[in-house]
Amino acid sequence: MNTALNRRIFTTCLCLLAPLPAQALEFSGYLRSGVGNSLNGGKQSCFKLPGAESKYRLGNECEQYAELELRQDLYTLDDGSVLSVDGMASFYNQYNRQLTFQGDNGSVRMPQLYAQWSNVPSLNGGSLWAGRRYYKRNDIHISDFYYWNQSATGGGIEDVLIGGLKYSYALSRKDSLYQEDYVTRHDFNVAGFNTNPDGALEFGLTYLDKPQRTDAHSGWAITAQHVQSAFLGGQNKFAVQYGEGSGTGLGYTGNTKLDNSSKRYRIVEFFDWQVTPRFGGQVEAVYQKDFRPHGGNQEWMSLGVRPAYAISEQFKLVTELGHDQVRAKDGTRTLSKFTFAPTWSPKGPGFWERPEIRLYYTYASWNKAAQRAANQLDAGSALSDSGAFGNARHGSNMGVQVEYWWK
């Protein structure tokens, strides 16, 4: 592992753990880990359709992943505003990989390290921040799809209350640890449009400057999202997104080589429910269309559901069914996936209660077009004929997994 990165992570942890009032320190984290194998005797290989932006997660994750976050309030001013720092270290390693922290054999990152001045009276309770931060992330849990994610390295002003609405602006240069080229990005958000009881609208506009290269272009994107609280004991979100050029990333920095003749739009609908203390779940539907001027138009549709029923206070039966379809110039690719997971949930029967320890069985099937695309775009993956299931267009995995988050 990179020595300089080790030093930065160690120094950050020391700073955050420095002697300060104990009540000001917040500690949170996330963990998922497990072991699994394919039923043909090989290692577990996870199912994802080429061209799809995500995959359905339950019984279909082939990595160990952990996050540890520390937030420290440094000082509370006389006006009630608070100065704080936040740092997060993450760990990632794929199943069946020897942990050497070199190449694809494990990594440690620092996805968050920022300072914040929050609850500022002159900003009507808003805040100022600077650094590398998870910022205004919107995701679908069952597929881990971050459809609107403005996380970045930069700074901004957040949730300034004016006339009953909350305004935010962020200026950034890099939105991913793996992004090679820096791009100046501007994110504007307005939230708090109350449309109906327990319902509100939020709007976001992203503009990406043209990088200083001859083959690069600017881009922009817009998102409108409605959030309905108190919906079947959970929450419903509906989002419409559109972008051009490098804005086709729709929340991320897209390909800067694309000009404004390249477009993408996306519709997202999902909700979670908890209609009784023992019956909950989440359902999603996503439609995305890409337009390219010289061919290469592509269409992605995804439908999935994860119901969970607790037969006791600490034991759930969880299933997940997902279907992805991609229409591309080489044909229509399809992938369907089913998982059954008896689950121990020591903290209770609710859908969101963690930790969960799951035994799972996953079955997936795909068509010839999906296999051809995998051979071209992702050789060695589960859907390719050089992967764990060979020429077969179906496969199964079994294993055990733990998932836990705390705050």
Please tell me the class of the 3-406 domain. Answer: mainly beta
* Phi and psi, residue 8, nearest 5°: -65, -45
The secondary structure of residue 387, as a DSSP letter, is: S
Domain boundaries, given as residue ranges, for the chain: 3-406
The secondary structure of residue 121, as a DSSP letter, is: G
**DSSP SS3 for 386:** coil
Q: DSSP for 223-281?
A: EEEEEEEEETTEEEEEEEEEEEEGGGGSSS---TT--TT-EEEEEEEEEEEEEETTEEE
pLDDT (tens digit, 0 to 9) for every residue of the chain, 407 residues total?
A: 454 444 454 444 444 444 445 456 899 999 999 999 999 878 899 999 999 999 999 999 999 999 999 999 999 999 999 999 999 999 999 988 888 888 778 899 999 999 999 999 999 999 999 999 999 999 999 999 999 999 999 999 999 999 999 999 999 998 876 777 789 999 999 999 999 999 999 999 999 999 988 889 999 999 999 999 999 999 999 999 999 999 999 988 889 999 999 999 999 999 999 999 999 999 999 999 999 988 889 999 999 999 999 999 999 999 999 999 999 999 999 999 999 999 999 999 999 999 999 999 999 999 999 999 999 999 999 999 999 999 999 999 999 999 999 98
Tell me how far apart the alpha carbons of residues 52 and 265 are, in angstroms, rounded to a whole number: 14
- Which neighbouring-strand residues pair with 206? 187, 221
The helix (run of H) or strand (run of E) holding residue 15 is helix 3-16
Q: Tell me the whole-structure pTM to 2 decimals.
A: 0.92
Amino acid at 341: A
Q: What is the pLDDT of residues 311-353, one digit of tens each?
A: 999 999 999 999 999 999 999 999 999 999 999 999 999 999 9
